[in-house]
């Protein structure tokens, strides 16, 4: 079904999630609509002495139930998450591999941090036991493209395959670039998203030293409070969100169930500061405008924005400003929410899990809330769907993600017409 048409339409046919609020899409989505909090005191290591001691962990995780135990031992926790989410998404898509050309299936699953736990564990072995104690699987386990490579081996996909790294914009960039690959005829099907497992001592110490994370350790349930007065930093999450996307022609030819259409995407840079977003929201504004324009979507047709909404003082204020810049009067008619209030911030996987949420919003007409929004910041004065899920007519959703380095990504999903 090879084609070089840049106008080729791209649709979503499969969804996969691994998170502490649900290790399947349906369980996770039920948690989103219920407004459940996924944040608690860190259990993966002893956080005593760290300024931030809370996170959204995937507890009760048993990768051996989903993967070859040998591959579990050889790979990092982030790869486990991404592999299992990709497996669920591919199964959900209903693709019959015996009837597909493997050269026309690609995988792009990114990670902002990669195998941090592997790095820490193996470095400790080096210091304590010398070089002979370091595992030969160290490098494959810690590099950020391994999830893509491992899942391609699992399904025999020989199309485009790589990892993508752009901090917290990683998964959205992976999805957008995968969309372009289909549009330019490089593949018929792409498995794309992000995975992250950075709840480790070294990662926590590093983010704590930046004073980027919340220190509301005595009240994990309300610590993540995007757009609220008194927000004091993000809360780390872990997990994965992966989607199967394919050309509309390919999906229809095989009789696929189609969730929605992926119509627009853009990537920009703030070129302002290595960690702080542009205070005028110029880079994010441009990303949203370009994403809408690439899908020929007028701003007034957007019904809902899944905001980056990290619960940091700068991000939430500047993202609100950027939304106002792009949408004008329509900004006050939009529903906006930060689902990070429940999931925590999954860094490179954030855009993957939030794209799954966006797709489910289009499919169901249900909008997940921003929980813990009881005392709004006067500078964040839009409709953030506070505390309770909402039923609404939703045909078009925009999702934003920003990353250290000044990275911006925006992606647009729309009901298929």
Phi, psi of 296 (to 5 degrees): 55, 45
Characterize the bridge pairing of strands 189-196 and 105-110.
Answer: parallel
**Contact at 8 Å (CB) between 166 and 406?**
no
d(CA 328, CA 129): 61
Core vs surface per residue 86-96: b (16+ CB within 10 A) or e:
bbbbbebbebe
**66 in active site:** no
**345 in active site:** yes
**Contact at 8 Å (CB) between 273 and 47?**
no
Catalytic residue among 147, 260, 345, 380: 345
Catalytic residue among 168, 208, 224, 260: 168
d(CA 299, CA 272): 26
d(CA 90, CA 105): 11
Catalytic residue among 19, 80, 250, 308: 308
**168 in active site:** yes
The sheet that has 407-414: what strands, in order across it?
A: 161-162, 105-110, 189-196, 239-247, 10-18, 260-269, 407-414, 396-403, 304-306, 335-337
Active site residues: 168, 308, 345
């Amino acid at each position: 079904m090879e084609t070089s048409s840049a106008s080729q339409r791209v649709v979503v046919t499969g969804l996969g999630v691994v998170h502490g609020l649900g290790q399947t899409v349906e369980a996770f989505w039920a948690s989103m609509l219920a407004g459940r909090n996924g944040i608690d005191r860190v259990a993966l290591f002893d956080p005593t002495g760290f300024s931030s001691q809370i996170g959204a962990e995937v507890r009760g995780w048993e990768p051996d139930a989903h993967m070859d135990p040998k591959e579990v031992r050889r790979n990092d926790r982030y790869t486990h998450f991404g592999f299992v989410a990709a497996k669920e998404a591919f199964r959900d898509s209903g693709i019959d591999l015996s009837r597909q050309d493997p050269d026309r299936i690609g995988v792009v699953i990114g990670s902002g941090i990669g195998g941090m736990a592997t790095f820490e564990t193996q470095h400790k072995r080096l210091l304590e036991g010398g070089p002979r104690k370091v595992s030969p699987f160290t490098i494959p386990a810690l590099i950020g493209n391994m999830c893509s490579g491992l899942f391609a081996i699992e399904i025999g996909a020989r199309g485009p395959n790589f990892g993508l790294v752009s901090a917290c914009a990683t998964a959205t960039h992976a999805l957008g670039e995968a969309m372009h690959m289909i549009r330019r005829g490089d593949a018929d099907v792409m498995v794309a998203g992000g995975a992250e497992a950075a709840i480790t001592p070294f990662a926590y110490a590093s983010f704590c030293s930046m004073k980027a994370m919340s220190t509301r350790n005595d009240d994990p349930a309300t610590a993540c409070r995007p757009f609220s007065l008194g927000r004091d930093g993000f809360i780390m999450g872990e997990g994965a969100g992966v989607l199967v996307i394919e050309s509309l022609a390919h999906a229809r030819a095989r009789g696929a169930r189609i969730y929605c259409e992926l119509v627009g995407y853009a990537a920009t840079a703030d070129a302002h500061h290595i960690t702080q977003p542009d205070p005028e929201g110029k880079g994010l504004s441009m990303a949203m405008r370009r994403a809408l324009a690439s899908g020929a979507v007028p701003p007034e047709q957007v019904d809902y924005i899944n905001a980056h909404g990290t619960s940091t003082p700068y991000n939430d204020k500047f993202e609100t400003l950027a939304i106002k810049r792009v949408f004008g009067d329509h900004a006050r008619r939009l529903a906006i929410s930060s689902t990070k209030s429940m999931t925590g911030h999954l860094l490179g996987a954030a855009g993957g899990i939030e794209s799954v949420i966006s797709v489910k919003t289009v499919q169901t007409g249900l909008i997940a809330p921003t929980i813990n929004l009881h005392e709004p910041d006067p500078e964040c004065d839009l409709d953030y769907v506070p505390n309770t899920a909402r039923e609404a007519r939703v045909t078009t959703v925009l999702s934003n993600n920003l990353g250290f380095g000044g990275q911006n990504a925006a992606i647009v999903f729309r009901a298929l017409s």
